[in-house]
């Protein structure tokens, strides 16, 4: 297990380093001058060159990358060009909103998706199964921003049960959580149903039932554990999607999260803020996929042993 973990962690670090290099070099060769954006059109060339020198932007790009990467490893992403504040501080404030929204949405999607998928599998072919799978198709097909607008109109504007926008109270997260988590819940439900159907037809399930064990104890204790590999795959990848894909939902509900911060940075060509935002997305995805790999090895030791045997 130790060798398996070391190998996966080193691979994850290699991916992060590659992404950091690609991000930095691409952003520094695209057209546009962030210094001119900062100082405005009225500044003369001497002022522009002085600001560029003070910021270290006149150095070779590889040298700039080396300094930036060394600072990034210490948690310092530099200073925002447009807001003149620490990128780390700005991202920390925005992350507080995004992490809460993503966490609530993921928990909502996981609980609802597992419950619906298990019920559909247990009542396979009956009206419960058909109804739940029809709803899941609707959940997958409906775009998140469309869902957000519809539930805003119904529950915020008409019924006035929840706030329309902002993050002033805990209730402000209810509608964004539903809008963001619904399609992921539908995907988890369909994968759970398919995986559970394969497991429920196995001989060991019938043997456990013949021994007199309670049906739901068999389904949850034996069936769900053996159906987890496909569920972990979809649930793990969706965790990364939820954390990095909340930009539209944050925009619809006017939430000051990472989505709004990154969009504003792109519009202003604020390179340190863009680089910090991209690395946030990359690190979240890499950590999630690493956690999924580790969960594979925990749930099914054959994966871990196979990996070690091939080394």
Fold of 95-309: MetI-like fold (1.10.3720)
Domain boundaries, the chain: 2-73, 95-309
Residue 246 neighbours by CB distance under 10 Å: 25
Q: Could you tell me which of 280, 270, 308, 306 has the C-alpha nearest to residue 93?
A: 280
pLDDT for 75 equals 79
Q: Could you tell me which of 91, 94, 54 has the C-alpha nearest to residue 72?
A: 91
Under a CB-based contact definition with an 8 Å cutoff, are residues 237 and 188 in contact?
Answer: no
pLDDT for 67 equals 83
Q: Report the alpha-carbon distance of residue 97 to residue 251 in Å, rounded.
A: 12
pLDDT for 308 equals 44
Under a CB-based contact definition with an 8 Å cutoff, are residues 257 and 94 in contact?
Answer: yes
Helix (H) or strand (E) holding 52: helix 45-54
Q: Report the alpha-carbon distance of residue 143 to residue 59 in Å, rounded.
A: 45
pLDDT for 108 equals 92
What does residue 241 show for φ and ψ, rounded to 5 degrees?
-60, -40
Structure-token match 């394969």, residue found: 198
* Tokens coding 141: 């097909």
Averages of pLDDT over runs of 10 residues in the chain (311 residues) are 75 85 80 64 69 71 82 81 83 85 89 88 84 86 84 88 82 88 88 80 65 65 68 75 76 82 80 84 80 69 50 40
């Amino acid at each position: 297990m130790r060798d398996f973990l070391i190998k996966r962690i080193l691979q994850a670090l290699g991916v992060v380093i590659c992404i950091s290099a690609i991000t930095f070099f691409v952003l520094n060769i695209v057209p546009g001058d962030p210094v001119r954006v900062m100082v405005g059109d009225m500044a003369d060339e001497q002022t522009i060159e002085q600001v560029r020198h003070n910021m270290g932007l006149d150095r070779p790009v590889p040298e700039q990358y080396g300094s930036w990467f060394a600072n990034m490893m210490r948690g310092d992403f530099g200073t925002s060009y447009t807001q003149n504040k620490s990128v780390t501080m700005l991202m920390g404030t925005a992350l507080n909103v995004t992490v809460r929204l993503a966490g609530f949405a993921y928990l909502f999607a996981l609980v609802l998706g597992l419950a619906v998928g298990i019920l559909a599998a247990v009542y396979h072919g009956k009206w419960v199964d058909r109804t739940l799978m029809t709803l899941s198709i609707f959940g997958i097909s409906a775009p998140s921003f469309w869902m957000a607008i519809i539930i805003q109109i119904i529950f915020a504007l008409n019924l006035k049960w929840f706030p329309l926008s902002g993050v002033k109270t805990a209730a402000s997260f209810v509608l964004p959580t539903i809008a963001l988590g619904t399609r992921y819940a539908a995907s988890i439900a369909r994968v759970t149903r398919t995986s559970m159907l394969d497991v429920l037809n196995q001989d060991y399930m019938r043997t456990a039932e013949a021994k007199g064990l309670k049906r739901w104890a068999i389904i949850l204790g034996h069936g769900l554990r053996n159906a987890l590999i496909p569920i972990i795959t979809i649930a793990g990848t969706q965790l990364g999607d939820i954390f990095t894909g909340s930009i539209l939902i944050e925009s619809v509900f006017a939430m000051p999260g990472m989505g709004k911060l990154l969009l504003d940075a792109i519009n202003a060509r604020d390179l340190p803020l863009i680089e910090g935002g991209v690395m946030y997305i990359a690190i979240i995805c890499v950590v999630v996929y690493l956690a999924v790999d580790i969960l594979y090895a925990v749930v099914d030791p054959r994966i871990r042993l196979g990996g070690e045997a091939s080394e």
